[in-house]
């Protein structure tokens, strides 16, 4: 049954003459009759007694009205609120580690502050996993560091990032090095599937086989803590991830010759996704927010 059928049913329960109700609802008498017949068919029994030109609620019609009218009013209120507040709703997003830890939290905070009737479920994962989640419709928007090659996705650039090399050994920051001069260091990298690791390894090409990959981690904090405690360790990491440590001089940037690891950050969504007003507004909000980075 539809809200329109119910609206006509309740109207007819108060105004028994089709002509009068037709004028009140601005629809034809035939449309009223069809709506009532449709409702009665769905309930498998008549709700009105046909008494000449009048339709009068019968005993089943009266109990149906009693049981449903409050629920109908609640649905109408919800419909009105939903139509008036196009920014109410729930978004599901996922961000890769760099974006999710250092960019997304403030964007989400600002958006929820502006639109309090919105809720956002957010996850952090590697770029490869997020691409699959967007393709499968598990999330609405993905924010990643690796440009996907998928015909099922819309891909938009939202900003730039730079990968740098850092160590807690201040002496290394005083000079510039070829990468093979640092192969004796204990390299700590992100896990496979991470956009950061993928960009670094691809830049090394065949030299990556000579890299002393000492440990792998999924989280930035573990890597940074190990670097701070071990001067012989080195990593390739987003500048966003170590801004505070660089400012506090707990870590130091190590300059490499002939390796410049800049990358773009991407917003992705499924090309077949229906774009609600809320979805469009959040997408626009992300683009505008990322202009500040």
User: Which range, of 108-122, 123-137, 168-182, 208-222, averages the lowest pLDDT?
Assistant: 208-222
pLDDT, residue 164, reads 95
Number of domains in the chain: 3
| Local confidence band at 181 (pLDDT 50, 70, 90 cut-offs) | very high
The verdict on 147 and 12 lying in the same domain is: no
The verdict on 125 and 269 lying in the same domain is: yes
21: containing domain: 3-84
- Whether 293 has a pLDDT exceeding 80, the answer reads no
State the Cα–Cα distance between residues 126 and 95, nearest whole angstrom. 8
Q: Tell me the pairing of strands 48-51 and 89-95.
A: unpaired
The verdict on 154 and 169 lying in the same domain is: no
What's the angle, vertex CA 117, arms to CA 73 and CA 283, rounded to 5?
A: 125
DSSP output for 167-225: ES-GGGGGSEE-GGGGTTSEEEEEPTT-HHHHHHHHHHGGGGGGS-EEEEES-HHHHHH
The verdict on 105 and 118 lying in the same domain is: yes
Domain C-terminal end among 23, 57, 84: 84
pLDDT (average), residues 211-228: 91
pLDDT digits (tens, 9 = 90+) for 230-282: 999 999 999 989 999 999 999 999 999 988 899 899 999 999 998 888 999 99
The verdict on 125 and 44 lying in the same domain is: no
pLDDT, residue 270, reads 96
Tokens 């740098």 sit on residue: 164
The verdict on 49 and 193 lying in the same domain is: no
pLDDT, residue 119, reads 93
φ, ψ of residue 251 in degrees (nearest 5):
-130, 160
Domain C-terminal end among 42, 58, 84: 84
The verdict on 170 and 247 lying in the same domain is: yes
The verdict on 272 and 192 lying in the same domain is: no
The verdict on 174 and 237 lying in the same domain is: yes
Highest mean pLDDT among 47-51, 136-140, 206-210, 217-221: 136-140
Residue 190 forms beta bridges with which residues? 217
HEC secondary structure over 250-278:
CCEEEEECCCCEEEEEEEEEECCCCCCHH
146: closest CA among 125, 164, 131? 131
The verdict on 97 and 75 lying in the same domain is: no
Left (φ > 0), alpha (ψ -120 to 50) or beta: where does 193 sit?
left
pLDDT, residue 85, reads 65
State the Cα–Cα distance between residues 91 and 119, nearest whole angstrom. 6
pLDDT, residue 81, reads 67
The answer to whether the predicted template modeling score (pTM) of the entire model surpasses 0.85 is no
The verdict on 40 and 131 lying in the same domain is: no
What mean pLDDT is reported for the chain?
Answer: 90
- Whether 285 has a pLDDT exceeding 80, the answer reads yes
pLDDT digits (tens, 9 = 90+) for 131-180: 999 999 999 999 998 899 899 999 999 999 899 999 999 999 999 999 98
pLDDT (average), residues 29-52: 89
The residue that leads in pLDDT, 12 or 273, is 273
The verdict on 172 and 239 lying in the same domain is: yes
CA distances from 49 to 12, 45, 58 (A): 12, 11, 6
Q: Tell me the pairing of strands 233-238 and 186-190.
A: parallel
pLDDT digits (tens, 9 = 90+) for 52-95: 778 888 989 889 999 988 898 888 877 776 766 667 789 999 99
Find the CATH number of the domain harbouring 269.
Answer: 3.40.190.10
Give percent of the chain above pLDDT 70: 98
Find the CATH number of the domain harbouring 70.
Answer: 1.10.10.10
């Amino acid at each position: 049954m539809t809200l329109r059928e119910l609206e006509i049913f309740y109207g007819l329960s108060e105004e028994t003459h089709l002509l009068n109700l037709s004028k009140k609802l601005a629809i034809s008498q035939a449309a009223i009759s069809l709506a009532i017949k449709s409702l009665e068919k769905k309930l498998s029994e008549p709700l009105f007694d046909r008494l000449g030109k009048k339709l009068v609620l019968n005993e089943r019609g009266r109990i149906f009205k009693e049981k449903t009218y409050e629920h109908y009013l609640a649905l109408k209120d919800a419909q009105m609120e939903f139509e008036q507040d196009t920014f109410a709703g729930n978004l599901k997003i996922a961000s890769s580690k760099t974006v999710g830890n250092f960019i997304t939290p403030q964007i989400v905070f600002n958006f929820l502050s502006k639109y309090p009737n919105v809720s956002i479920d957010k996850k952090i994962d590697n770029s490869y996993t997020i691409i699959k989640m967007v393709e499968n419709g598990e999330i609405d928007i993905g924010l990643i560091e690796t440009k996907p090659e998928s015909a099922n996705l819309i891909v938009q650039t939202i900003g730039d990032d730079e990968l740098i090399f850092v160590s807690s050994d201040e002496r290394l920051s005083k000079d510039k090095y070829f990468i093979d001069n640092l192969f004796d260091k204990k390299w700590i990298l992100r896990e496979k599937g991470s956009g950061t690791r993928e960009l670094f390894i691809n830049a090394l090409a065949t030299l990556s086989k000579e890299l002393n990959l000492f440990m792998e981690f999924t989280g930035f904090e573990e890597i940074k803590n190990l670097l701070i405690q071990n001067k012989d360790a080195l990593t390739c990491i987003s500048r966003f991830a170590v801004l505070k440590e660089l400012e506090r001089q707990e870590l130091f940037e190590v300059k490499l010759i002939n390796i410049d690891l800049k990358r773009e950050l991407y917003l992705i969504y499924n090309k077949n996704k229906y774009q609600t007003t809320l979805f469009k507004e959040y997408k626009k909000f992300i683009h505008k927010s990322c202009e500040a980075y």
